Amino acid sequence: TDIFATIAEIAGVDIDEINDSKSFKSLFSEKKSIRKYQYAEMKNEKNDAWTISNGTYKLLVFADGEEEMYHLINDPYEKSNILNSPLTTVEKKTKEALEAELLRIRN
């Protein structure tokens, strides 16, 4: 969705946000964050899933209730689902924050 605001800003429109679209034009020239979370949806014949990331952790929630969570710094290829073992306090708090934001976005 961010492509709309980005193109508008590049075209000279004096706005960096349109509805939920935020321009990422500044990322072409400087290191800066425009969003606290990144969200995506997947729907195909096999799976429906939603994913949210804070840049360090990524949570995937499937329509059947299955969940996966990855530490993207330590595991950038998402090979080790950290939900398969007990979570640390930081991981638990992060999962709760990701779940809350996912709920907010989806509702």
Q: Could you give the residue ranges of the DSSP H alpha helices within 1-107?
A: 2-10, 89-106
pLDDT of residue 21: 80
Nearest to 61 by CA among 13, 32, 99, 96: 99
The rounded percent of the chain whose pLDDT value lies above 90 is 49
Q: Which CATH architecture has domain 38-106?
A: 2-Layer Sandwich (3.30)
Confidence bin at 23 (pLDDT 50/70/90): confident
pLDDT of residue 33: 66
Strand partners, 21: 18
Residues 6+ apart with CB under 8 A from 85: none
32: pLDDT strictly greater than 70: no
Output 22 or 40, whichever has higher pLDDT: 40
Arithmetic mean of pLDDT over the chain:
87
Domain definitions of the chain by residue range: 1-29, 38-106
Query: Taking residues 59-67, what's their average pLDDT?
Result: 93
3-state SS assignment for residue 52: strand
